[in-house]
Chain A
Amino acid sequence: MLKTIIRHGCRLRPALNMRLPTSTLNTRLHTSSLSKANPHGQIWPCVFVSRRTSILEQNIKDAGQMRTPPPLTPRDIESRVLRICNDYDKIQEAHKNKITLATHFMNDLGLDSLDHVEIIVALENEFGFEVPDADYDKLYTIKAVVDYLIKRMNIVEHKKPVVSSASDPRYDHHHH
Protein backbone atom coordinates (compact mmCIF):
# COMPACT_ATOMS: atom_id res chain seq x y z
CA MET A 1 0.00 0.00 0.00
CA LEU A 2 2.72 2.42 1.00
CA LYS A 3 4.82 1.34 -1.95
CA THR A 4 1.91 2.02 -4.30
CA ILE A 5 1.30 5.45 -2.89
CA ILE A 6 4.97 6.39 -3.17
CA ARG A 7 5.22 5.08 -6.72
CA HIS A 8 2.22 7.07 -7.88
CA GLY A 9 3.32 10.25 -6.27
CA CYS A 10 0.78 10.41 -3.47
CA ARG A 11 -2.17 10.27 -5.80
CA LEU A 12 -4.93 8.12 -4.45
CA ARG A 13 -6.49 7.13 -7.79
CA PRO A 14 -4.84 3.72 -8.27
CA ALA A 15 -5.12 2.86 -4.63
CA LEU A 16 -8.81 3.61 -4.41
CA ASN A 17 -9.50 2.54 -7.98
CA MET A 18 -11.70 5.56 -8.46
CA ARG A 19 -12.16 7.80 -11.47
CA LEU A 20 -14.30 10.88 -11.84
CA PRO A 21 -16.03 11.53 -15.18
CA THR A 22 -14.03 14.01 -17.28
CA SER A 23 -15.42 13.30 -20.72
CA THR A 24 -17.37 16.50 -21.26
CA LEU A 25 -16.53 20.09 -20.49
CA ASN A 26 -19.57 20.59 -18.29
CA THR A 27 -18.71 17.87 -15.84
CA ARG A 28 -15.13 19.03 -15.79
CA LEU A 29 -16.16 22.51 -14.79
CA HIS A 30 -18.46 21.03 -12.24
CA THR A 31 -15.79 18.86 -10.63
CA SER A 32 -13.07 21.49 -10.69
CA SER A 33 -15.15 23.76 -8.51
CA LEU A 34 -14.90 21.17 -5.73
CA SER A 35 -11.09 21.66 -5.71
CA LYS A 36 -10.60 18.08 -4.63
CA ALA A 37 -10.03 16.64 -8.09
CA ASN A 38 -7.36 17.74 -10.56
CA PRO A 39 -8.16 17.97 -14.30
CA HIS A 40 -7.24 14.32 -14.87
CA GLY A 41 -9.89 13.15 -12.51
CA GLN A 42 -7.52 12.13 -9.75
CA ILE A 43 -8.48 12.83 -6.19
CA TRP A 44 -6.18 15.13 -4.24
CA PRO A 45 -6.41 14.99 -0.50
CA CYS A 46 -7.59 18.16 1.11
CA VAL A 47 -4.36 18.59 3.09
CA PHE A 48 -2.27 18.85 -0.06
CA VAL A 49 -4.59 21.41 -1.60
CA SER A 50 -4.76 23.58 1.50
CA ARG A 51 -1.03 23.31 2.09
CA ARG A 52 -0.27 24.31 -1.48
CA THR A 53 -2.70 27.18 -1.22
CA SER A 54 -1.10 28.43 1.98
CA ILE A 55 2.39 28.23 0.42
CA LEU A 56 1.23 30.20 -2.60
CA GLU A 57 -0.38 32.81 -0.38
CA GLN A 58 2.85 33.15 1.57
CA ASN A 59 4.76 33.55 -1.71
CA ILE A 60 2.41 36.32 -2.76
CA LYS A 61 2.88 38.05 0.60
CA ASP A 62 6.67 37.78 0.31
CA ALA A 63 6.64 39.16 -3.21
CA GLY A 64 4.70 42.17 -1.97
CA GLN A 65 7.54 42.96 0.40
CA MET A 66 10.23 42.67 -2.28
CA ARG A 67 9.74 46.13 -3.58
CA THR A 68 12.75 48.29 -4.36
CA PRO A 69 13.42 50.40 -1.28
CA PRO A 70 13.38 54.17 -1.73
CA PRO A 71 16.80 55.68 -2.53
CA LEU A 72 18.90 57.03 0.32
CA THR A 73 18.83 60.77 0.74
CA PRO A 74 21.43 63.03 2.40
CA ARG A 75 19.00 63.53 5.24
CA ASP A 76 18.96 59.78 5.95
CA ILE A 77 22.76 59.74 6.21
CA GLU A 78 22.64 62.75 8.51
CA SER A 79 20.15 61.15 10.89
CA ARG A 80 22.07 57.87 10.97
CA VAL A 81 25.35 59.63 11.74
CA LEU A 82 23.70 61.68 14.47
CA ARG A 83 22.20 58.52 15.96
CA ILE A 84 25.60 56.79 16.00
CA CYS A 85 27.22 59.76 17.67
CA ASN A 86 24.42 60.09 20.21
CA ASP A 87 24.76 56.42 21.09
CA TYR A 88 28.45 56.75 21.90
CA ASP A 89 28.71 56.75 25.70
CA LYS A 90 31.34 59.47 26.09
CA ILE A 91 29.25 61.85 24.00
CA GLN A 92 26.25 60.99 26.11
CA GLU A 93 28.20 61.91 29.21
CA ALA A 94 29.51 65.11 27.72
CA HIS A 95 26.52 66.63 25.94
CA LYS A 96 23.27 64.83 26.13
CA ASN A 97 21.41 65.26 22.82
CA LYS A 98 23.03 68.59 22.17
CA ILE A 99 25.16 67.67 19.20
CA THR A 100 24.49 69.29 15.85
CA LEU A 101 26.13 69.15 12.46
CA ALA A 102 28.70 71.80 13.41
CA THR A 103 29.88 69.96 16.52
CA HIS A 104 33.62 69.31 16.62
CA PHE A 105 34.55 66.04 18.29
CA MET A 106 37.59 67.35 20.15
CA ASN A 107 36.97 71.05 20.65
CA ASP A 108 33.30 70.85 21.58
CA LEU A 109 32.96 67.40 23.13
CA GLY A 110 36.43 67.01 24.61
CA LEU A 111 37.11 63.61 23.05
CA ASP A 112 40.62 62.41 22.31
CA SER A 113 41.84 60.88 19.09
CA LEU A 114 41.22 57.28 20.19
CA ASP A 115 37.57 58.14 20.89
CA HIS A 116 37.47 59.61 17.41
CA VAL A 117 38.76 56.30 16.02
CA GLU A 118 36.05 54.46 17.98
CA ILE A 119 33.36 56.65 16.42
CA ILE A 120 34.79 56.02 12.98
CA VAL A 121 34.70 52.27 13.62
CA ALA A 122 31.07 52.51 14.74
CA LEU A 123 30.28 54.36 11.51
CA GLU A 124 32.06 51.67 9.50
CA ASN A 125 29.95 49.00 11.16
CA GLU A 126 26.81 50.99 10.48
CA PHE A 127 27.45 51.67 6.81
CA GLY A 128 29.28 48.46 5.96
CA PHE A 129 32.43 49.72 4.30
CA GLU A 130 35.89 50.60 5.47
CA VAL A 131 37.02 54.18 5.94
CA PRO A 132 40.67 54.34 4.83
CA ASP A 133 43.28 55.61 7.26
CA ALA A 134 44.11 58.69 5.24
CA ASP A 135 40.46 59.76 5.12
CA TYR A 136 39.45 59.80 8.75
CA ASP A 137 42.18 62.27 9.69
CA LYS A 138 40.00 65.05 8.30
CA LEU A 139 36.64 63.92 9.65
CA TYR A 140 36.60 65.85 12.89
CA THR A 141 33.18 67.47 12.64
CA ILE A 142 29.88 65.72 12.07
CA LYS A 143 29.31 67.84 8.97
CA ALA A 144 32.58 66.60 7.50
CA VAL A 145 31.62 62.99 8.26
CA VAL A 146 28.22 63.39 6.61
CA ASP A 147 29.73 65.04 3.54
CA TYR A 148 32.35 62.33 3.25
CA LEU A 149 29.77 59.55 3.48
CA ILE A 150 27.51 61.23 0.92
CA LYS A 151 30.41 61.57 -1.47
CA ARG A 152 31.59 58.02 -0.85
CA MET A 153 28.15 56.44 -1.32
CA ASN A 154 27.32 58.53 -4.41
CA ILE A 155 24.13 59.87 -2.91
CA VAL A 156 22.31 62.54 -4.85
CA GLU A 157 19.05 64.20 -4.03
CA HIS A 158 16.58 63.45 -6.78
CA LYS A 159 13.87 65.90 -7.55
CA LYS A 160 10.37 64.55 -7.74
CA PRO A 161 9.48 63.81 -11.35
CA VAL A 162 7.24 66.37 -13.00
CA VAL A 163 4.31 64.67 -14.62
CA SER A 164 1.59 66.09 -16.77
CA SER A 165 -1.33 64.39 -15.07
CA ALA A 166 -1.83 64.18 -11.32
CA SER A 167 -4.11 61.17 -11.60
CA ASP A 168 -1.27 58.78 -10.85
CA PRO A 169 -1.46 58.12 -7.10
CA ARG A 170 2.31 57.75 -6.85
CA TYR A 171 2.78 61.43 -7.64
CA ASP A 172 -0.30 62.78 -5.94
CA HIS A 173 0.65 64.58 -2.73
CA HIS A 174 -2.84 64.79 -1.35
CA HIS A 175 -3.09 61.07 -0.74
CA HIS A 176 -0.06 60.87 1.53
Chain B
Amino acid sequence: MSNLPTTFLTHSQRVCRLYKSLFVYARRAHWPDRLAYRQCMVEYRARFDANKNVQDLMKAKRLLIAGEDELKKSMHVHTENFNFPESPNGIAENRYPTPDDSALDGWHPLEKAQYPTYFATREKRKKAYMEWYLKRYGIPDPPMM
Protein backbone atom coordinates (compact mmCIF):
# COMPACT_ATOMS: atom_id res chain seq x y z
CA MET B 1 0.00 0.00 0.00
CA SER B 2 3.02 2.23 -0.07
CA ASN B 3 1.86 3.63 -3.41
CA LEU B 4 -1.04 5.45 -1.77
CA PRO B 5 -0.31 9.01 -0.57
CA THR B 6 -0.82 9.18 3.16
CA THR B 7 1.28 12.21 4.10
CA PHE B 8 1.41 15.85 3.12
CA LEU B 9 3.92 16.36 0.32
CA THR B 10 6.39 19.22 0.28
CA HIS B 11 6.92 21.29 -2.83
CA SER B 12 10.18 19.56 -3.77
CA GLN B 13 8.60 16.15 -3.29
CA ARG B 14 5.79 17.11 -5.64
CA VAL B 15 8.34 18.28 -8.20
CA CYS B 16 10.20 14.97 -7.91
CA ARG B 17 6.99 12.99 -8.37
CA LEU B 18 6.06 15.05 -11.40
CA TYR B 19 9.49 14.42 -12.89
CA LYS B 20 9.26 10.70 -12.26
CA SER B 21 5.80 10.41 -13.76
CA LEU B 22 7.15 12.25 -16.80
CA PHE B 23 9.55 9.33 -17.21
CA VAL B 24 6.58 6.99 -17.20
CA TYR B 25 4.75 9.16 -19.73
CA ALA B 26 7.74 9.53 -22.07
CA ARG B 27 8.47 5.84 -21.98
CA ARG B 28 4.91 4.99 -22.91
CA ALA B 29 4.57 7.73 -25.53
CA HIS B 30 7.76 6.85 -27.39
CA TRP B 31 7.81 3.10 -26.83
CA PRO B 32 9.80 1.25 -28.14
CA ASP B 33 12.03 4.09 -29.39
CA ARG B 34 14.43 4.55 -26.51
CA LEU B 35 16.38 7.28 -28.25
CA ALA B 36 13.29 9.47 -28.61
CA TYR B 37 12.43 8.73 -25.00
CA ARG B 38 15.84 9.90 -23.81
CA GLN B 39 15.62 12.99 -26.02
CA CYS B 40 12.22 13.80 -24.57
CA MET B 41 13.52 13.42 -21.01
CA VAL B 42 16.51 15.66 -21.69
CA GLU B 43 14.14 18.35 -22.95
CA TYR B 44 11.95 17.99 -19.87
CA ARG B 45 15.03 18.20 -17.67
CA ALA B 46 16.04 21.44 -19.37
CA ARG B 47 12.59 22.87 -18.69
CA PHE B 48 12.85 21.90 -15.04
CA ASP B 49 16.35 23.38 -14.74
CA ALA B 50 15.26 26.65 -16.33
CA ASN B 51 13.03 27.32 -13.31
CA LYS B 52 15.41 25.88 -10.74
CA ASN B 53 16.16 29.13 -8.94
CA VAL B 54 12.68 30.59 -8.66
CA GLN B 55 12.49 32.18 -5.21
CA ASP B 56 8.85 33.23 -5.34
CA LEU B 57 6.95 30.29 -3.87
CA MET B 58 3.65 31.35 -5.41
CA LYS B 59 5.22 31.44 -8.85
CA ALA B 60 6.91 28.07 -8.25
CA LYS B 61 3.61 26.56 -7.22
CA ARG B 62 1.86 27.96 -10.28
CA LEU B 63 4.57 26.45 -12.48
CA LEU B 64 4.22 23.11 -10.72
CA ILE B 65 0.45 23.04 -11.14
CA ALA B 66 0.82 23.99 -14.81
CA GLY B 67 3.24 21.09 -15.26
CA GLU B 68 0.91 18.65 -13.53
CA ASP B 69 -1.96 19.76 -15.75
CA GLU B 70 0.15 19.37 -18.84
CA LEU B 71 1.07 15.84 -17.79
CA LYS B 72 -2.56 15.01 -17.06
CA LYS B 73 -3.66 16.24 -20.48
CA SER B 74 -0.98 14.30 -22.34
CA MET B 75 -1.35 11.19 -20.19
CA HIS B 76 -5.07 10.59 -20.71
CA VAL B 77 -4.54 8.75 -24.00
CA HIS B 78 -2.20 6.21 -22.39
CA THR B 79 -4.58 4.04 -20.48
CA GLU B 80 -2.52 0.90 -19.97
CA ASN B 81 0.65 0.85 -17.94
CA PHE B 82 2.80 -1.77 -19.60
CA ASN B 83 6.12 -0.40 -18.33
CA PHE B 84 6.25 -2.59 -15.26
CA PRO B 85 3.43 -5.08 -15.72
CA GLU B 86 3.54 -6.76 -12.32
CA SER B 87 3.92 -3.55 -10.30
CA PRO B 88 0.97 -1.66 -8.77
CA ASN B 89 -1.32 -0.22 -11.52
CA GLY B 90 0.49 -2.43 -14.07
CA ILE B 91 -1.49 -4.47 -16.56
CA ALA B 92 -0.45 -7.78 -14.96
CA GLU B 93 -0.76 -6.80 -11.31
CA ASN B 94 -1.57 -9.88 -9.20
CA ARG B 95 -1.74 -12.04 -12.29
CA TYR B 96 0.38 -14.77 -10.75
CA PRO B 97 -0.43 -14.65 -7.04
CA THR B 98 1.65 -16.59 -4.57
CA PRO B 99 -0.33 -19.70 -3.64
CA ASP B 100 -1.67 -19.78 -0.13
CA ASP B 101 0.30 -21.74 2.43
CA SER B 102 -2.74 -23.90 3.21
CA ALA B 103 -2.48 -25.39 -0.29
CA LEU B 104 0.19 -27.69 1.12
CA ASP B 105 -2.43 -29.31 3.34
CA GLY B 106 -4.22 -30.54 0.24
CA TRP B 107 -1.32 -32.61 -0.99
CA HIS B 108 -1.85 -36.32 -1.38
CA PRO B 109 -0.24 -38.39 1.41
CA LEU B 110 2.05 -39.98 -1.16
CA GLU B 111 3.21 -36.52 -2.20
CA LYS B 112 3.68 -35.52 1.41
CA ALA B 113 5.73 -38.63 2.00
CA GLN B 114 8.36 -37.29 -0.38
CA TYR B 115 9.24 -34.55 2.13
CA PRO B 116 8.86 -36.30 5.49
CA THR B 117 10.95 -33.90 7.59
CA TYR B 118 9.18 -30.78 6.34
CA PHE B 119 5.69 -32.14 6.85
CA ALA B 120 6.50 -33.49 10.33
CA THR B 121 7.73 -30.01 11.34
CA ARG B 122 4.72 -28.43 9.69
CA GLU B 123 2.32 -30.55 11.74
CA LYS B 124 4.16 -29.53 14.89
CA ARG B 125 3.97 -25.85 13.93
CA LYS B 126 0.27 -26.06 13.18
CA LYS B 127 -0.36 -27.71 16.52
CA ALA B 128 1.66 -25.04 18.32
CA TYR B 129 -0.25 -22.28 16.50
CA MET B 130 -3.60 -23.79 17.45
CA GLU B 131 -2.52 -24.00 21.08
CA TRP B 132 -1.36 -20.38 20.98
CA TYR B 133 -4.64 -19.29 19.40
CA LEU B 134 -6.78 -21.07 21.98
CA LYS B 135 -4.71 -19.60 24.79
CA ARG B 136 -4.90 -16.09 23.36
CA TYR B 137 -8.46 -15.86 21.99
CA GLY B 138 -10.31 -18.84 23.42
CA ILE B 139 -12.55 -21.17 21.45
CA PRO B 140 -13.66 -19.37 18.27
CA ASP B 141 -17.31 -18.94 17.31
CA PRO B 142 -18.59 -21.05 14.42
CA PRO B 143 -18.39 -19.22 11.09
CA MET B 144 -21.39 -17.09 10.08
CA MET B 145 -23.58 -18.37 7.27
Contacts and interface: CB of A to CB of B under 8 A. Distances in A.
Interface stretch (B71-79, B81-89, B100-108): B81-89
B13 interface: yes
Contacts of B83: 130
B45 A114 contact: yes
Contacts of A132: 2-3, 88
A137 interface: yes
A129 B19 contact: no
Q: Bin chain B's interface residue count.
A: 20 to 34
Interface string A123-141: 0100011101111010000
A128 B90 CA distance: 12
Contacts of B2: 132, 134-135
Interface residues of A, number: 15
B84 A114 contact: no
Interface string B12-39: 1101110110010000000000000000
Given A114-B48, A130-B90, A133-B3, A121 B13 contact: no
A116 B15 CA distance: 12
B32 to A, nearest CB: 13
Interface of A: 113-114, 116-117, 120-121, 124, 128-130, 132-135, 137
Interface of B: 2-3, 5-7, 12-13, 15-17, 19-20, 23, 45, 48-49, 83-84, 86-88, 90
- By Cβ-Cβ distance, the 5 closest A-B pairs, closest first, are A130-B87, A132-B3, A130-B84, A132-B2, A134-B2
